Amino acid sequence: MTDSSFTALHDTALRGFASDNYSGVHPQVLAAMAAANDGHQVSYGEDVYTARLHEVMAEKFGRPVEVFPVFNGTGANVLALQSLLPRWGAVVCAATAHINCDENGAPERVGGMKLLAVPTPDGKLTPDLIDKEAWGFGDEHRAQPLAVSITQTTELGTCYTPEEVKAIADHAHSLGMKVHMDGARLANAAAHLGVPLRAFTSDAGVDVLSFGGTKNGLMFGEAVVALNPEATDGLIYLRKMNMQLASKMRFISAGFIALLEGDLWLQSAGHANAMATRLRAAVEGLDGVVPTQPTQSNGVFAILPEGVADRLREAFRFYDWNEAAREVRWMCSFDTTEADIDTFAEAIRAELSR
Ligand SMILES: Cc1ncc(COP(=O)(O)O)c(C=O)c1O
């Protein structure tokens, strides 16, 4: 059954800094998927891998949780938020949130909720910032702000401490609001903070989590995790309705198990973070490079002199973050090497001194 005649169509030595999605599948994840491949298993999540994933997640979060593996992060966010809200609900989020900027309006169009976006200096909400939109409760003219969504780590590479998450959750709950965490880079946060996952999620009062897998080495797949199942409603139906119910779910679950049963998730994220820290150290202080955010995960954000980014991009892929400000984003992955960083940093130095 195995056809080994397939050859890669791309240059397999090429790595860039555009996105932690540009990397491939972690070999241990691929091996787990292959091990789960033979024979038949019941589809749509009634398989032994998805059952085991529930146990693994319950261990991680220190309580029984409901786990809903899905295809992607946008889907996870939409259905997690839908599960928290009535039809008239609105979500307070940072203006930079992925749900607000990078999901093509899916929370509004597909999820049917209103987003109330608050500008922040660093991608992080605070109780005071939440209050800018958490008002008008009971006013029929205003979409009801009944949930808060925070991103960990944020889209700007910054990281909430467990105390900051708890302060947000306590505040939100005191207002009758529920708390969602977009954890597309949850593992990077755990690696940065050096605390167990539960310290800044379940123990801090997050109600529902979009648990990222893809950026941490899965082929594809995230999981909606109801940490406080009482706060959610209808996730099982919403997943299907949102076209996120995988028939061959065992492969998403097997990948997650490979990440989470041991410490692969943490090793990989810690490595990606360390590579970003190395890059930051290499460019810090270079004349012309102005870092714009603290490096607290696997990304470096910086402003470059006119033209430098485009010339660097002739050899290395990466994105502008804010084109008008000449701010770029450099992302590292589980497979970024020290040599990748050193070569790139040297190219930046050479370009700056041209
Ligand atoms: C903060 C954040 N949330 C969610 C996602 C997931 O998006 P996707 O729908 O592409 O899997 C991403 C991916 O870039 C992200 O950065």
Domain 27-260 sits in CATH 3.90.1150.10: no
Annotation: CATH topology of 264-352:
Aspartate Aminotransferase, domain 1 (3.90.1150)
Ligand 1 atom 10 nearest Cα: 73
pLDDT over 80 at 4, yes or no: no
Give residue 2's pLDDT.
57
Distance 188 CA to ligand 1 centre (A): 14
Cross-strand pairs, 70: 222
Closest of 330, 345, 329, 350 to residue 283, by C-alpha? 345
- Percentage with pLDDT > 70 across the chain: 99
| Upstream peptide bond of 153 is cis (omega within 30 degrees of 0) | yes
Helices 338-352 and 264-283 cross at an angle (nearest 10°) of 20
Q: Is 155 in the pocket of ligand 1 (CB under 6 A)?
A: yes
146's CB contacts (< 8 A; 6+ apart) are 84, 85, 86, 89, 90, 91, 176, 177, 178
Both structure tokens of 198: 């539960």
Q: Give the model confidence (pLDDT) of 334-343 as tens digits.
A: 999 999 999 9
Q: How far apart are CA 319 and CA 18, in angstroms?
A: 6
CA of 104 to the centre of ligand 1 (A): 12
Give residue 346 CA to ligand 1 midpoint distance, Å.
Answer: 30
User: Residue 196 in contact with residue 214, Cβ under 8 Å?
Assistant: no
Q: Which atom of ligand 1 is nearest to the CA of 77?
A: 4
Pocket test for ligand 1, best of 22, 23, 74 (most atoms within 8 A of CB): 74
For residue 199, the CA-to-ligand 1 centroid distance in Å is 23
Could you tell me if the CB of 126 is within 6 A of ligand 1? no
CB 98 less than 6 A from any atom of ligand 1: yes
Domain boundaries, the chain: 27-260, 264-352
Tell me: the pLDDT tens digits for 71-106?
Answer: 999 999 999 999 999 999 999 999 999 999 999 999
Residue 146: alpha-carbon gap to chain centroid: 22
Instruction: For ligand 1, say whether the CB of 16 is within 6 Å of any of its atoms.
Output: no
Give the pLDDT mean for 128-144.
Answer: 98
| Residue 97 zone, left/alpha/beta (φ > 0; ψ -120 to 50; rest) | beta
CA–CA separation, 300 vs 218, rounded Å?
A: 23
Mean pLDDT of all residues belonging to the chain: 97
340 Cα to the center of ligand 1, angstroms: 24
Kindly state if the Cβ of 283 falls inside 6 Å of ligand 1. Answer: no
pLDDT tens sequence across 224-282: 999 999 999 999 999 999 999 999 999 999 999 999 999 999 999 999 999 999 999 99
Asked if residue 351 has its Cβ within 6 Å of ligand 1, the reply is no
Q: How far is the CA of 84 from the centre of ligand 1 (A)?
A: 20
CA of 74 to the centre of ligand 1 (A): 6
Q: Are 210 and 252 in contact (CB under 8 A)?
A: no
Residue 354 pLDDT class (50, 70, 90 cuts) = confident
